[in-house]
């Protein structure tokens, strides 16, 4: 089903450029919603899981990341990280630790966080692979290349 049919749109947006932008928006929106549904079964949100993923894969020797680093990696405003980490601290998924540079906090996963991540991550990986099996490997590469151009233009 085309995007227009799906949304019940009857006319307008008939310029191809608009359609491309709309497609990016709505596809991302749907993927995000499906991912969030998945994560909520484990009592985390998609954004919170994103933090855990970054702490797992992106911190040097598991040494943690600062809020500013998380902010950059997630394309999210610094201010938003504060409350996000507040909630994750409350849920005992991460801790704030002081560093040499006293402007920084170092965010690390707790044991509980690591355990949850270890359980959920492989399942999520399967979900992504399944979802993307809708298109061939070649198309995936094309998609990545095209979006890269759009994004960095």
**Could you say which of 6, 9, 33, 126 contacts DNA (CB under 7 A)?**
33
69 lies in the binding site for its own copies (CB under 8 A): yes
Q: Is there binding between residue 101 and DNA (CB under 7 A)?
A: yes
Total residues at the site for DNA (CB under 7 A)? 31
Cα–Cα distance, 125 to 35 (Å, whole number): 11
95: contact with DNA by CB under 7 A: no
103 belongs to the binding site for DNA (CB under 7 A): yes
Q: Which two tokens stand for residue 11?
A: 């006319």
DSSP class per residue in 35-60 = HHHHHHTTT--HHHHHHHHHHHHHSG
Nearest approach, Cβ of 105 to DNA (angstroms)? 4
Task: Give 65's DSSP letter.
Answer: B
Which parts of 9-48 interact with its own copies (CB under 8 A)? 9-13, 15-21, 23-33
Burial class (CB in 10 A: 0-12, 13-18, 19+), 125: exposed
- DSSP code of residue 25: H
Nearest approach, Cβ of residue 80 and DNA (Å): 3
Q: What is the contact surface with DNA in residues (CB under 7 A)?
A: 33, 36-37, 45-48, 66-68, 71, 74-85, 87, 96, 100-105
């Amino acid at each position: 089903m085309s995007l227009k049919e799906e949304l019940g749109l009857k006319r307008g947006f008939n310029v191809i450029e608009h359609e491309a932008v709309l497609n990016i928006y709505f596809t991302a929106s749907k993927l995000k919603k499906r991912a969030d549904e998945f994560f909520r079964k484990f009592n985390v949100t998609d954004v919170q899981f994103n933090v855990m993923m970054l702490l797992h894969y992106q911190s040097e020797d598991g040494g943690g990341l600062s809020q500013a680093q998380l902010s950059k990696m997630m394309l999210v405003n610094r201010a938003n990280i504060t409350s996000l980490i507040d909630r994750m601290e409350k849920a005992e998924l991460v801790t704030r630790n002081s560093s040499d540079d006293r402007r920084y906090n170092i965010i690390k996963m707790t044991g509980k966080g690591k355990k949850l991540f270890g359980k959920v991550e492989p399942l999520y990986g399967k979900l992504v692979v399944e979802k993307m099996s809708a298109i061939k490997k070649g198309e995936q590469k094309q998609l990545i290349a095209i979006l890269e151009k759009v994004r960095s233009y």
